[in-house]
Structure 1
Amino acid sequence: MIRPKLSLRRPLAVLAAALIGSTGAVALASPASAHHTTISATVVCDQRSGERVITWKVVNSERRKTATITNVTANPATTVVLAPEGADAAELKGTAIPKAGFVEGVQRVPGDTTSATLTVDAAWFQEGDSRRNKAPRSSDSKTIKLDADGACAPAPKCVDASAAKYSHTFDGPKGTATVKLEGDQPLCGDAKQYFTLVSYFAPRPQFATPQYVYGTPASDYLGGTQTEIELNVGVPDCHTQVDLIWGGVDEVIDPLVENGERYGNKKLGEKGAPGNRSSGPQGWYNGGSKNCTTPASTFASACDGTVAVSLSNDGSLSRYAVEFEVRGENGWSKKVTVEPGKADNETVVPAENAGKIEVLVDGEVIEGGTYKWQRPEDCPLPTVTTDADCETFALTASNPEGGVPVKVDFTYGDKTESRTVAPGTSEKVTFKAGDDEAALVVLPDLGLELEVVYAPEGCGGGGGGEEPPGLPVTGAAAGGIAAGAIALLAVGAVLFVMARRRRIHFTA
């Protein structure tokens, strides 16, 4: 039996053709599915216009081919222009997308828009493309939600005073400050926000009370077209406090007293409201290098050696009571408190303590606060009288009432006698008559000297007369000596005034 031979060539050819046809179909379809664009978007709210601004990003999927956007369909139907947007920006339609690159388009939609969709048609044209060999194309869409954070509204054209923010500068030692409204918008309506700069007298360079306002506080407001102010106050040349506060002059506290009202968070730069609504340095200062008082003293010496000390507290800076301490020699001390604007004239330093006097405040001697007793020019001076005969030469020093004890040195020949004459008393010194013609009387405490000539009459010239030496002087001679004594009593003060640091000759 002869079996026919089966040929496989035709079936294989048919199968091969089918496979080839199938492969060709895939190859022809793949460009249509491989070429595409990818769309994403970001959204912001433009508060100036109240619009939402969508930035669409369109990415080319092909690394070797440039895509061309052939059509753009937007919903809402507003224009999509190339980013960045501007007066001369072109539309996104017709734009080429670089190989493996992207382009961005900007679209503005109303602030209450809830969603937006962008559809982009693109083609990948190449050289040699014809009707038979058409360029690959794609159409891609993207929809986004816009109302996740609520509607977009335009920013207000003014700021409510209750929500306004400020910034400030502050220089306490110079007494200057500025306050500025933050942002581009003024306060709404007729609203005004006042700020005040105030300085005080203070008892210490650190916070202490009481404090008293110095000069006139500086106050101004922000509102309307006024968005920045400058404040200046005088600062006392002594311990002070300077405060920059929230509010007008009606907020100023005068005086600041112990357990009284305080500014607290009204001071700008504080941590709490309203002071924390202004950014900047702390708006308060404490300092100054000297007391806000003007303590002064004057001195008056008395003939009896005492010194009257007058204490005053009435200068232009005096705002506080001053405790004075008056110190004399030998541990003598007295404390006196003088109220502001007052004086005290009742402090008298005893004569035995008046050699050196100091007036102190807070343990320091005040300016002009040192003194020692000085004899007043109108005090009556001691007087000297003589009583001389042929055997003795007597000298008597008298010190008037109301003065101080006076030391007197009497010198005749080679002998010197010293006496201290108390006020209202006299001291007499008698020398044996000799050949010296004069005696010297010195008051060293007063810087006075007096030379008294010894020349009694009728003594016989040392034994050459009719009467023997040493006999009492009688008759006219005695009357002359008495007259001389009386004259000395009358003019003694004048003689000593003229005899300061020089000698005056007087014949006894």
Structure 2
Amino acid sequence: MNRLKSPYRHVMAVTASALIGIAGALTLASPASAHHSEVKVTAQCDTAAGEWVTTWTVNSYAPEGVNNYQFTKAEATSVVNGNATPFTIDGIAVSEGDTYPHSVSEPVVGKARLSGDATEASLTVKARWDNGYNEKDDSSASIKFSESCDKVVTAPPAAANPKATVTADCEGDVAVKLENGAEATKDAAFTVTGTDGFTKTATVAAGKDTTITVPARNAAKITVTEAGQKAPIFDDKPAEAKDCVEPGEPIGSYQSTCDALIFQIENPKDGKTVTVTLTPNKGDAQTLVVKPGETKTATFKAFEGLTVAPRADGLDDASPVAWKKPTKCTRSSPSAPPEGGGAGGPTLPKTGAPAGLIAGGAAALLAAGAVLFVVARRRRVRFTA
């Protein structure tokens, strides 16, 4: 009897080992992409002490069922007179042993005071969650100080106390926050200058603030001046935003049928609203506003010599697209429409070979057409024919 059972036991053991190995691989692989940390920082100048008060916020993300975590790395550094010096942040520190003191559902917030001469500060962390998963990459945040934080004993008469904070977002646009200290005795007159001729001015009363947004196309370098200051308050390239997630890219296509020139814009669900204006050489322009998850078309009645020029924010190539009569058309080409009209409506042709071709929707257009444009994270548009 034992001789008969032995082979089956061997087969069962091998099968069980394989199943356990597969299950283990799936268990280890499935949660990895869901674990990550996010670090943010803000700062204020304490003029009474002449120190920067920095506030650091760490958020943790993990799969459902993972409740706590610890820091395995927490390195904070400030730069003073070109020298990097480590500093500690209350509440954000490496945990010893197998303790997991921080809840995934709540942010960890810590404060640190830095020298008023500090020009930059950063925090880098790594985490381990209570399911044993270790964060693979560093998560960090940094801040640059546009000026020194000086201790103010007595404000001079009729003097502004201007400050500027420059922050870029994931689209590349830059928010310039302009402040005039509460102790100021006059309004602060700011001028914000970007590239390619961008200039805006703002007057800020004592204890107030305002924000000027510099578009990404003008934000290669930003200079902030105040009328009462000899040197610029800020004169540099803004630091790029971190931990940005790129939106989905809208894709457009065009196709010539026997009767029309058809454009289609398809925007994925994770994209951003895109606006495209299509202007024919004769007739009325059509504008497509395509929200995430939508697909829209514009149809222009064909005639010999028809061209349509696409225009969108950041379009790299706005060259007109010409209608080309397909070789399989059996009837003569349509004549040009009268002046001032003739642009087709948004509906597609309903009869003949064109209707069958157009009914294919996105797949047909993309197969027979050409790529029109792709919108990237900074809303730049690439056009290729």
Taking structure 2 as the reference length, what is the TM-score of the superposition?
Answer: 0.32
Taking structure 1 as the reference length, what is the TM-score of the superposition?
Answer: 0.26
